[in-house]
Structure 1
Amino acid sequence: MHILMTGAGGAVATALTPRLTALGHSLRFSDRVRPAALPADAEFVPADLTDRDAVHAACDGVDAVLHLGAISVEDAFDAILDVNIRGTQHVFEGARRAGNRRVVFASSNHAVGMHPRSALLDETSPYRPDSFYGLSKAYGELLARFYWDKHGLESASLRIGSCEAAPSQKRHLSTWLSHDDLAQLVDRSLRAERLGAAIFYGVSANDRRWWRDRSAETIGYRPKDNAEAHAGKPGMLDPMPNPLDETHQGGTFVSANYTRTLPPSDLWEAMGAEQKQGSL
């Protein structure tokens, strides 16, 4: 398929580019400025996500859109609003106008990050965003549903975990998504015969994962990597800097800008069974 990849200068896009090319896809890259690492003959269309007309033009003439562009950390609401919320609407509307087959949207586990670590989530679990960033990803998933229900534009919202070359902290033993597994999930989302408005968890086959995604199995996603192979490495047992980050799935996004005085009973409820047992 001929795919528009937004956020082409980001780390995830850089990791995906050779993998998706090897899987037979041709890529049109888009970002605010041309990434220095792109080959000279690569197809590039400059577009700031806040520029509606530029985004719409970038969507013309491709089969699908892989929307990776975003502010990928917590930020002021106005910044998140402009790039992650308005920008994502520009992408979906551009895809609709251009007649693209589908959008693969890089959502995030932070759309459900306020769930306790003791909870085993699936794609039907309720939204509990842990940040303005997570809120913007929940919005993107709802936007995807809206564009399917109203316009028939198919989509796959990928709730990406911790996508790195290798896990680097204890939380990643549950949330890690290898680059190879992400490429497989994107490829399966692009090739699936029918998606509707699907939500898939982007996570490798980690023994300690907090998410069970039966819907991803229906498109043939079979992750190969397991964070447990890295469990004995430095940093894998280090505690998080805040108790909230240890008890909730979103990690440090949970305690960022947190002002609520948490009653002890609530904190106790958020703790996993193993942590409770260890504190008795």
Structure 2
Amino acid sequence: MATDRTASRRIVLTGAAGGVGTMIRPLLAPLYPGLVLSDKATPAGLRADETFVAADLTRPDEVAAVVAGADAVIHLGGYSVEGPWDAILQANIVGCHTLFEAARQAGVRRVVFASSNHAVGFYPRARTIGPDVTVRPDSRYGVSKAFGEALGALYADKYGISVTCLRIGNVGPRPLDVRRLSIWVSPEDLVQLIAIGLDHPDIRYEILYGASDNAAAWWDNARARALGYRPTGRAEDHRAHAEAEQARIGPDPVGDRFQGGSFCSAEFDNDVARAGPAD
């Protein structure tokens, strides 16, 4: 894959102190020397070649200071689970807009946005979906990720920023249960997808799925593969562990039907037959 990567590029990683940021920082560092990290809290184990700039995503002046002079942003920052509406609104909607607008004003050329499988969580597990389906969020958190995808499209089309939205499944060393056998992504494969967003010359606006080479996948990730994605993680290698953990969890009559799992069943007050897209 042709790239425009150079050692002099200034790459910003928001949400650097979070769980995913902590997992991928050691993998990003050799690819993008001089990574600029940002979060409200200082990340543990700062490397000599990493720079930390504290910022609250809801404060435009702080975000502007983070992205000043940046060539690209990997935007992981925000509220990472379901929560009260005001918390989601401030961190993931107001904060996401603040980031994109600061990036535009600073002349940032590329943004990789950490979207989520929860933007499409109310699709049934029996259905394979691609990146072009209508969003079916399963939570307030999922709504905020659908908003981020739409905002990214606006900034790509109106302002010419190259935007890649990654609908991330579940990141970690191995799948945690049977649901995650379908949506798991290894940290190494996630970094490979981020690199496509940062480097591929043909990126204008893309939605790609953050998933490894999963035999039980619910998502068609052909577009990612067309851009050069070659996942090395295989969820099936961890099936025994996932099934053992699933036995501990037990059944979920609503969540087991839909791709979003427990995000769908939480606060659910509907006839399950009326949830999700009509057949």
| TM above 0.5 | yes
Closer, same or farther: CA 19–269 of 1 in aligned 2, 3 Å: closer
The gaps in structure 2 that reach 5 residues or longer are: 1-8
Alignment correspondent of 2:195: 187
1:219 aligned partner: 227
**Cα distance, 1:81–1:267 mapped onto 2, change above 3 Å:** closer
Residue in structure 2 matched with residue 256 of structure 1 by the alignment: 266
Q: Confirm or deny: 8 A CA contact 2:35 2:49 kept in the other structure.
A: no
Of 156, 160, 163 in structure 2, the residue corresponding to residue 155 of structure 1 is 163
CA contact (8 A) 1:239 1:246 kept: no
Give every structure 1 segment of 4 or more consecutive aligned residues whose post-TM-superposition deviation is greater than 3 Å: 236-241, 265-271
Q: Is the 8 A contact 1:170 1:238 kept in 2?
A: no
Return the alpha-carbon distance in structure 2 between the equivalents of residues 210 and 239 of structure 1: 21
Q: What CA RMSD, in Å, does the superposition of the two structures yield over aligned residues?
A: 1.9
Pick one of 81, 90, 108 that aligns with 1:100.
Answer: 108
* Selected match of 1:57 from 49, 61, 65: 65
One-letter amino acid of the counterpart of residue 267, structure 2: N
- Give distance in 2, aligned partners of 1:226 and 1:203: 10
Report the AA paired with residue 4 of structure 1: V
SS in 2 for 1:184: helix
Query: Aligned pair in 2 of structure 1 residues 179, 270: CA closer, same or farther (>3 Å)?
Result: farther
178 and 18 in structure 1: CA distance in 2 versus 1, 3 angstrom threshold? same
Partners of 2:49 and 2:193 in 1: CA distance: 27
Aligned to 1:142, which of 146, 150, 154? 150
Indicate the residue corresponding to 1:129 in structure 2: 137
Displacement of 1:100 in angstroms is 0.8
Where structure 1 has 5 or more consecutive residues not aligned to the other structure, the ranges are 272-280
Work out the number of aligned pairs and report it: 269
Instruction: Check the 8 A contact 1:170/1:239 in 2, yes or no.
Output: no
CA deviation vs aligned residue, 1:189-218 (integer Å, no higher than 9, x gap): 111002111100000000000001221122
- Corresponding residue of 2:84: 76
Q: CA deviation at 1:22?
A: 2.2
CA distance in 2, matches of 1:156, 1:81: 22
Work out whether residues 59 and 98 of structure 1, in 8 Å CA contact, stay in contact via their aligned partners in 2: yes
Identity of aligned residues (%): 45
1:242 is matched with which residue? 252
3-state SS in 1 of match to 2:112: strand
Counterpart of 1:166 in structure 2 is 174
1:57 partner letter: A
1:209 aligns with 217
Quick one: distance in 2 between partners of 1:140 and 1:230? 32
Q: Which residue of structure 2 lines up, in the alignment, with residue 38 of structure 1? A: 46
